[in-house]
Structure 1
Amino acid sequence: MSVPATRPAQEPVRDAATLVGGFVALLWVLEIVDTVLGGSLDQYGVRPRSDEGLLGILFAPLLHGGFGHLVSNTLPLLVLGFLVALSGIGQALAATGIVWLVGGAGTWLVAPSSTVHIGASVLVFGFITYLVLRGWFARRFGQIALGVLVLLVYGGALWGVLPGDPGISWQGHLFGAVGGVVAAVVLAPRRAAPAAPAY
């Protein structure tokens, strides 16, 4: 007699840790390379309303303006990215892709000309709003409780979507957060319509 194989309980945790840890490690490798090259990679960030700046939508979250910038994003990325990835690698990649594209495109559209926007904080802000809202759209108590916890711990960071210190891309923060909302809506499980009564 054979029975369906089930995944050990620790595998989702291991997969989530591997995915997020690998991504953050990539960010550190890229920043080391950028430092060796004298910061020349930073030019590939989002350049609002320029044709070449469109490529920055793809590259900007991978680049940082020095190790201090990267350090400030590392812990939130590890924590929030891990929580997102616990629900499944496919779901996490889809949510990240939505945040990545919405955040970059929004920044490209509204940020001031002659500026360059880089940094993974677009993902951090997107992960915050995604985690806070996904449970409400999915109607899952466990995710709602996690969202409340994330809001208590990281909710203060959401003030970063407002204009503030020069040199801080509040546009990236804002549209990253918008991307998280979009991801929570788009990726919420669809509920089957009630069956029509038979006569």
Structure 2
Amino acid sequence: MQDNRLPQQLGNHLKTQVITLGGFLLAFWVLEIIDWLFFHGALNGLGVKPRTLIGLRGIFLAPFLHGNFAHLMANTVPFLVLGWFVIVQGIREFWIVTGVTAVISGLGIWLFGSSNSIHIGASGLIFGYFGYLLLRGYFERSLRAILWAIVVVILYGGMLWGVLPLRVGVSWQAHLFGFIGGGVAAYWLSQRHAMLKDQIIIHE
């Protein structure tokens, strides 16, 4: 019975992963199309506005908003690839990394972003996934985590330059604090997994 259930469980797990990650991408594209058709870019005003009370709403809204279709296209592939690398390690891990990254990235922008600016885009989440995969290899020290880190460095190692203020009009704050958020999630999850691994299970 267990052998028969395993393929079904794996199939359901894969389906949940695809729906979750696909749901994010669908939301990105649907919102951009709606903004382009009906609001002429006005929805971008819902992004993070540094040091304003109303700007706090952008912490969770900004990742779903993009300046134009070129901006969205530039974020779609790395979000899909790095997001998939995270979600295959567990749906729960994906939600934790996403939530921690969104909050830390958003608050970092809100505290340290330029005045009279609005920050939008999923790059904070992308850098969070990058930071999580990279730093989990350091914190966990397992072969699996280290191999994931190596793969990520090979594919996207150049992203590290994005945490520096090198380009005008690019939210390096989102990149930097997104990376930090991913690192925080990596540390917390690696510590949690180590604690669970060390627990002694007693059968009565």
TM-score by length of 1: 0.91
Do 1:46 and 1:118's aligned partners in 2 also have CA atoms closer than 8 Å? yes
Q: Secondary structure at the match of 2:169?
A: coil
Partner of 1:25: 26
C-alpha displacement of 1:3: 4.9
Distance 1:15 1:135, change over 3 A: farther
Partner of 1:191: 195
Partner of 1:134: 136
C-alpha displacement of 1:191: 2.5
* Structural mapping, 1:34-53, within 5 Å: 34-36=35-37, 37-53=39-55
Partner of 1:84: 86
Separation in structure 1 between the aligned mates of residue 199 and residue 88 of structure 2, nearest angstrom:
30
- Describe the superposition over 1:172-192 as per-residue Cα deviations: whole angstroms up to 9, x where unpaired: 111011111011011111336
Separation in structure 1 between the aligned mates of residue 124 and residue 98 of structure 2, nearest angstrom:
10
C-alpha displacement of 1:119: 0.2
Separation in structure 1 between the aligned mates of residue 102 and residue 30 of structure 2, nearest angstrom:
20
Separation in structure 2 between the aligned mates of residue 146 and residue 158 of structure 1, nearest angstrom:
16
Structure 1: which amino acid aligns with 2:17?
A
Partner of 1:120: 122
Separation in structure 2 between the aligned mates of residue 3 and residue 76 of structure 1, nearest angstrom:
37
Separation in structure 2 between the aligned mates of residue 3 and residue 187 of structure 1, nearest angstrom:
29
Distance 1:173 1:10, change over 3 A: same
Structure 2: which amino acid aligns with 1:191?
M
Do 1:12 and 1:86's aligned partners in 2 also have CA atoms closer than 8 Å? no
Partner of 1:154: 156
- Describe the superposition over 1:114-144 as per-residue Cα deviations: whole angstroms up to 9, x where unpaired: 0000000001111111011213323321121
Separation in structure 1 between the aligned mates of residue 64 and residue 199 of structure 2, nearest angstrom:
45
Separation in structure 2 between the aligned mates of residue 142 and residue 133 of structure 1, nearest angstrom:
13
* Pair 1:54-2:78 in alignment: no
Higher helix fraction: Structure 1 or Structure 2? 2
Structure 2: which amino acid aligns with 1:111?
G
Partner of 2:102: 100
| Structure 2 portions without partners, runs of 5+ | none
> Size of the alignment, in residue pairs?
194
| Structure 1 portions without partners, runs of 5+ | none
* Pair 1:177-2:179 in alignment: yes
Deviates more, 1:45-54 or 1:184-193: 184-193
C-alpha displacement of 1:41: 0.5
Separation in structure 2 between the aligned mates of residue 115 and residue 166 of structure 1, nearest angstrom:
12
C-alpha displacement of 1:16: 2.1
Deviates more, 1:150-159 or 1:186-195: 186-195
* Structural mapping, 1:63-82, within 5 Å: 63-82=65-84
Deviates more, 1:184-193 or 1:37-46: 184-193
TM-score by length of 2: 0.88
Structure 1: which amino acid aligns with 2:45?
Q
Q: Secondary structure at the match of 2:89?
A: coil
Separation in structure 2 between the aligned mates of residue 178 and residue 134 of structure 1, nearest angstrom:
12
Distance 1:142 1:194, change over 3 A: closer
Q: Secondary structure at the match of 1:187?
A: helix
